[in-house]
Structure 1
Amino acid sequence: MRADRLVSLVLLLRQRGRLSAATLAHELEVSTRTVLRDIEALSAAGVPVYAERGRHGGFALLPGFRTELTGLNHDEALSLLVAGLGRGEQVFGLGSALASAMRKVVDALPEGSQATASDAARRMLIEPETDLLARRAAVDEVPGDVAAEVRRAVFAGHKLRLHYAAAGRPPAWRTVDPIGLVTVRDRGYLLATRSGEDRTYRLSRVLAAEELPEPAERPDHVDLDRIWRDRSTRFRAGGDQVAVELRLRPSRREELAGTALAVLAEAAEADGVGGAGGADGADGADGAGGWLRMTVTFQDARHAEWALWQLATDAEALAPPSLRTALRDRALALAARYDTPP
């Protein structure tokens, strides 16, 4: 680990010039005291690193110094593979490895191409933390030591002991046979079996993890895409799901489809057909081109109420009656709140 850090320190100084101890510590995710010890080790090994004192001082390399310490380690190579899958490197705890790997890639380029590549990278922003409405992306936080232990067990094919906090239950230890890792919308999942039964664990709910020496009971070859589809189908078919009949403006169709578990039926509404409340005249004023009649499923009644509330007057729940009542009561409570001055 220290050898990799020393290589990264040299590459940072080569590519970015003079840097303070505090900046190096932030980039390498260590303390400033560790950076100072590493600088002494590099100097003792003959690397021409020197200190510049003063307000804008820091550490730098003698001009023209170059070394061939650019070999990628396992985690760095892996981080480059998952980097194209969104923010998988963060979900699986490979963020620092990715930064180190990219420094090595840049350093391995011909000298004339380094500036061009660095400038090109600065002109691309992939999956920022917020969208145009300043809404922050919800990224699961997974402790680095937990992510590393889970990764090791998955790749080594060893059993894994998890301290897991399932929703609505107290944390408990369980031993599983890990199959693979999946990231979906910046949430990480461990696919595993337990006593031969399929299990899916959300990584952010793993409080602690321990790789065991025993080999995991799992097939030699795996199709994670197929396994994930199968488990997703079973998940949507279980629980306290509720089917909802509704009317919807076509402009909100994709938003609803992305929220619901499944769309069971869909058709354009015939002209002149109003909703259950019969107040359709004012709704068509925006020229949306008619309404859709849909039947969709949600995980439970609470999920259905939340989803329809987000759509405001662009949707109308037709059935079940309990959902219409819940939405009406919520709207009346909100209207009452704003009916008088504050």
Structure 2
Amino acid sequence: MRADRLVSIVLLLRRHDRLSAPALARELEVSTRTVLRDIEALSAAGVPVYAERGRHGGFALLPGFRTELTDLSHDEALALLIAGSRRGTQVFGLGSALASAMRKVVDALPEGNRATAAGAVQRLLVDPATDLLSRGQAGEEVPDPIAAEVRRAVFAGHKLRIHYAAADQAPKWRTVDPIGLVTVRGLGYLLATRDGADRTYRLSRILAAEALAEPAQRPDRVDLDRAWQERGTRFRAGGDQVVVLARVNPTRREDLVGTALAVLAEEADVDGWLRLEVSFQDARHAEWALWQLGTNAEALTPQWLRISLHDRAAAIVARYG
């Protein structure tokens, strides 16, 4: 919205003293021409903004100018509530709202605290894209218009029509009753019901969305944490699950448990290793998980898994032998 953008320009100029039109355009993710039009609108509205020419020129506000612009919009408040997760703001389409909200927060600080706050921000990095081993973290971008429509239906309690592309299926239109939104490791999910049955949709697979006027059929209150756990339990109980009995070096226990669906039993073995009964989504999942542990784990059952791991190891030996 243009009004929010005009407010953001004033806050940016207050924070940085002077900014060029290209710099403002980058901050606001608009064109330089749009920034120039906005500057003209601010000037016409009586905001004392002026231009300085030259190599280090740009736009600035007259010294001492201040106005009360720190009221938060609905989306900005939501962004702050989930600001602890950078990916959450992106998954739910609230990234720009968070940036705008933080500018307002900084502007609301006492004069002497602004520089301190700006310096502190430079010394914090939350949830980077890769870890120390340069392994990419899971994450998906959801187009802002789609995220906005989904949010609107969830918060207003209205039915939602989505064009959804399920895995290995052609996209189809569905009308659902939205319950809530969940983000896990950078992946966003819509919890909903369809024809009274629980459904979970990946936000990144929603190709189009439309919030309808019809009220959703859903309870007034919901425990999202419990609902997510229940759906996770049902998911893990389905499919072609595989149960594996394995011996594991205690130093690698968490690596195995972290990839398994569930730990069904656990006990210490006579040599200090652990004997774990764990479940995996399918045969490929089980083989991959045990292979990652190398000689720090041994699959005891099922026999086909032992044979598969043996054949894979033999192939490696043959390649480098």
Q: What residue in structure 1 maps to residue 65 of structure 2? A: 65
Shift of 1:60: 1.9
Structure 1 residues 313, 30: closer, same or farther in 2, change over 3 A?
A: same
- SS of residue matched to 2:19: coil
The partner residue of 1:296 within 248, 265, 278 is: 278
State the SS of the aligned residue for 1:247: strand
Is contact 2:139–2:187 with CA below 8 Å preserved after alignment?
yes
Question: Once the two structures are superposed, what CA deviation does each residue of 1:117-163 show, in whole Å capped at 9, x if it has no partner?
Answer: 22222222221222111222111121111111100010011111111
2:164 corresponds to: 164
Q: Counterpart of 2:310?
A: 328
Aligned residue type for 1:104? K
The DSSP-based 3-state class of the residue aligned with 1:266 is: strand
Q: Distance in 1 between matches of 2:141 and 2:312?
A: 33
- In the TM superposition, residue 37 of structure 1 has moved relative to its aligned partner by 1.0
Q: Aligned with 2:188: secondary structure?
A: strand
Distance apart, 1:216 and its partner CA: 0.6
Partner of residue 232, structure 1: 232
Moved more, 194-203 or 19-28: 19-28
- The 1-side partners of 2:114 and 2:4 are apart by 21
Distance, in Å, in 2 between the alignment partners of 1:215 and 1:269 is 57
Q: Could you list the per-position Cα deviations for residues 196-249 of structure 1 after superposition, in whole angstroms to 9, with x for gaps in the alignment? A: 000000111111111111111111111111111111111111111100111111
Partners in 2 of 1:52 and 1:330 — Cα distance? 69
Query: Match for residue 27 of structure 1?
Result: 27
Whether the 8 Å contact between 2:163 and 2:209 is mirrored in structure 1 is: yes
Name the CA shift for 1:60/1:250 in 2 (closer, same or farther; >3 Å): same
Contact conserved, 2:247 with 2:297, CA < 8 A, in 1?
A: yes
**Which letter maps to 2:131?**
D
Deviations 1:88-144 (A, max 9, x none): 111111011001001101101111121222222222222122211122211112111
Spell out, residue by residue over 1:255-283, the C-alpha distance to the aligned partner (whole angstroms, 9 max, x if none).
22111100011111113xxxxxxxxxxxx
Task: Give the corresponding residue for 1:189.
Answer: 189
Aligned-partner SS, 1:83: coil
Deviates most, 131-140 or 84-93? 84-93
* Structure-2 change in CA distance of 1:43 and 1:240 (3 Å): same
Shift of 1:67: 1.3
Distance in 2 (alpha carbons) for counterparts of 1:26 and 1:324: 56
> Cα distance, 1:85 vs. partner?
4.3
Alignment-derived partner of residue 211 in structure 1: 211
Matched residue of 1:27: which SS? Answer: helix
Q: Which runs of 4+ in 1 moved over 4 A?
A: none
Give the corresponding residue for 1:246: 246
Whether 1:113 and 2:113 are equivalent positions in the alignment is yes
Answering whether residue 286 of structure 2 is matched by residue 311 of structure 1, we say no
Is the CA contact (8 Å cut-off) linking 2:188 and 2:203 kept in structure 1?
yes
The 1:143–1:36 alpha-carbon spacing in structure 2 relative to 1, beyond 3 Å, is: same
297-306 vs 45-54, which deviates more? 45-54
Match of 1:52 in 2: 52
Structure 2: how far apart are the matches of 1:327 and 1:19? Answer: 61
Does residue 270 (structure 1) correspond to residue 252 (structure 2)? The answer is no
TM-score by length of 1: 0.90
The code of the aligned residue for 1:123 comes to R
Question: Which residue number corresponds to residue 133 of structure 1?
Answer: 133
Q: TM-score, normalised by structure 2?
A: 0.96
Deviations along 1:68-99, one digit per CA (max 9) or x if unpaired, are 11110000001000112453111111011001
Distance 2:317 2:32 in 1: 56
Determine the structure 1 residue equivalent to 2:221: 221
2-structure distance, mates of 1:196, 1:22? 52
Secondary structure in structure 1 of the residue aligned to 2:230: helix
Distance 1:77 1:67 in 2: 20
Matched pairs, number:
321
- The 1-side partners of 2:219 and 2:318 are apart by 60
